[in-house]
Amino acid sequence: MMMDAIITGESERVGLSIIDANDVEHLIEVEFDGEVEYHEQDGYPDDPAERTEKANEMVLQARDYAKWYVTQETNYNTVPWYLNTDQLKAVREAVETCSEEELDHHFGQFYRQIAGEYKTHVEPPLQNPVPDGEAIDRYREYKYDIYLTADESEVETTSGIHVMYYAGKGDPRTIDGHDPYPDRKPDGRLEHVAIDLERDQFDAFIDYHLRCQIRDSYLSRGEEPPEEYRVLGPGTDHMMRRSMSRDYVPDYHDYNADIDGYRAEDTFNAGIFAPVLDLIR
């Protein structure tokens, strides 16, 4: 995999020329807040429904690469947390430095939420958070924002628990938990379904999950991650949806996937990821 880019101009937004892995040029304009305002290319059909799965993935990779590249080359923060590799690495390092007391303080409620469905002695903070009749099945994904200190060396605080469910096929909804910084982007976010996890596994689970997220930050923008991050397991929801909805994209989120050069160094019960396949398309 390889991508290349140059910035072609800056005015009301940033213009780029992106060359994807198929040598197709994408002309993209990115707003200063990270939204893609304009995207033109000549290598694939304009209508996504008429493109092959590979072509659709190339288009998404080009857009993600553009957001990431602008942040690398300018003073504009256009990259969302799930594409910001350096920031995700900082989150992982900050979590690694947490003492057991700090880990419980910042992440204890998230552990109780994801483990409580399986552990009778663990009470989840949120009981039946989705109102009756709003979800079409039992799939729930829990999201948990992480904010670092100004120097990115420590975890400053975390959010409440956000709950994602499906109100219909292709219709994900989120019930937002407490946000300590409504006007600030999170530095990272844990995203996972309920799992059968012991408390003494939790620190290893978080570290591995963040490692998979770093992997996905590369893959989403069309780059092969370094060897350390070629691991299998659930990472970002952003990349998991692409893997599960397109046969062209390997199942990096699956611990049991057979992908050349990738391996599962740790395995945790991945809960009910499988049923979501019929919901995201």
The pLDDT value given to residue 62: 97
Q: How far apart are CA 233 and CA 221, in angstroms?
A: 18
| Dihedral of the alpha carbons of 199, 108, 115, 243, in degrees to the nearest 10 | -110
The pLDDT value given to residue 98: 97
Q: Which amino acid appears at position 85 of this protein?
A: T
The pLDDT value given to residue 264: 93
The pLDDT value given to residue 22: 93
The pLDDT value given to residue 268: 79
Q: How far apart are CA 185 and CA 182, in angstroms?
A: 8
Entry pTM: 0.93
Q: How far apart are CA 35 and CA 219, in angstroms?
A: 20
Per-residue H/E/C for 213-246: HHHHHHHHCCCCCCHHHCECCCCCHHHHHHHHHC
The pLDDT value given to residue 128: 85
The per-residue b/e assignment along 44-80, b for 16 or more CB within 10 angstroms, e otherwise, is beeeeeebeeebbbbbbbbbbbbbbbbbeeeebebbb
pLDDT digits (tens, 9 = 90+) for 77-116: 999 999 999 999 999 999 999 999 999 999 999 999 999 9
- Please say whether the dihedral angle defined by the alpha carbons of residues 30, 34, 35 and 39, taken in this order, is positive or negative: positive
The pLDDT value given to residue 244: 84
The pLDDT value given to residue 155: 98
Q: How far apart are CA 222 and CA 93, in angstroms?
A: 24
Identify the segments of the chain with pLDDT beneath 50.
none
The pLDDT value given to residue 267: 79
The pLDDT value given to residue 276: 52
* Residue spans of alpha helices (H) in the chain: 53-73, 85-96, 100-115, 202-220, 237-245, 277-280
Q: Report which DSSP code applies to 171.
A: E
Among the listed residues 139, 156, 162, the one whose alpha carbon sits nearest the alpha carbon of residue 275: 139
Element (H, E) at 36: strand 36-41
Neighbours of 138 (CB within 10 A): 12
Residue 119, phi-psi category: left (phi > 0), alpha (psi -120 to 50), beta (remainder): beta
Q: How far apart are CA 74 and CA 133, in angstroms?
A: 47
Q: How far apart are CA 36 and CA 29, in angstroms?
A: 6
Say what angle helices 202-220 and 100-115 make with each other, to 10 degrees: 80
The pLDDT value given to residue 248: 87
